[in-house]
Amino acid sequence: MFRIWRWLSLVFTVIIIISLGSIYVQAQPSSSSSAHSAKLNTRIPDLGRHFQKFGVEGSIIIYDSKNNLIYEHNRQRNATAMTPASTFKIFNALMALETGVIADDVAVLTWDGIYRDFEGWNQDTNLRQAFKYSTVWFYQVLARKIGYAQMQEWIDKVGYGNRQIGTNADIDSFWLQGPLKITPKEQINFLYRLYQGNLPFSKRTMDIVKDIMVREQTPEYTMRAKTGWLSSSKPQIGWFVGYLEQNNNVYFFATNIDIKKRDNLPDRIKITRSSLKDLGLL
């Protein structure tokens, strides 16, 4: 069964890579509009200007799944592997539920009594709250309960990033300090497979995780997303990945910026929202 899933994962990944590469709309100034802009009946948005506005370096990739179009800024960075930080909580939650390490999204783990910088972390917590507050200790406990052998097996089965989780000693830090890495483009691939239900997890598991991923919900759209902050790297890295359901379409996004100071953290979300607005969304 493992070999079958691994083969299917490889085939599906190849299909998505081909699909993602089939129609590229490289973000550029509107004066450089191409044949793609005629097809869209609009100008190609200059997504780079949002990074300039906030004075940060980074990249964004947006995949319009209905029209098979990609909009992006900094294509080279979008193909560069980086530590996923807390965006890995999406995968970690899937694994914990599937393996029965945690029963559901409301089962509580007891706080260890160690005070941490974020107030929302200093309490007994369930999966839904831990996802919302990005509670690191909670997901570290889940990873230790899952164990090294099972974690590696499922990382391989899904084909997540570079599939490297280090040694037994790294079981609760490999997504925070490495060696696990993933590119923004691979983040899109993973999220697309989650949305489609084409990951080797049960429908129940995927439905629960999709539900806890909801960040914004209005009558017009639903956004599912997760932030990530790699504070141990130089430069520090900030992630914002997810997907937007709107106008009978799904737009997958992965934003990645250099964090020079803590005040930059909201910029990853602001840049993403501004870029989606450029596409007539939100």
Active site residues: 86
Q: Identify any residues that bridge with 228 across adjacent strands, giving them in sequence order.
A: 239
> CA nearest 74: which of 96, 52, 93, 90?
52
**How far apart, in whole angstroms, are the C-alpha atoms of residue 137 and residue 219?**
35
Please report the DSSP string for the chain in residue order.
-HHHHHHHHHHHHHHHHHHHHHSEEE---GGG--HHHHHHTSPPP-THHHHHHHT--EEEEEEETTTTEEEEE-HHHHTS-B--GGGGHHHHHHHHHHHTSS-STT-EE---S---SSGGGSS-EEHHHHHHHT-HHHHHHHHHHH-HHHHHHHHHHHT-TT-----GGGTTTHHHHSS--B-HHHHHHHHHHHHHT-SSS-HHHHHHHHHHTEEEE-SSEEEEEEEEEETTSSSEEEEEEEEEEETTEEEEEEEEEEESSGGGTTHHHHHHHHHHHHTT--
Dist. CA 170–CA 183, nearest whole Å: 21
Token pair 């932030």 is found at 227
* φ and ψ of 228, to 5 deg: -155, 145
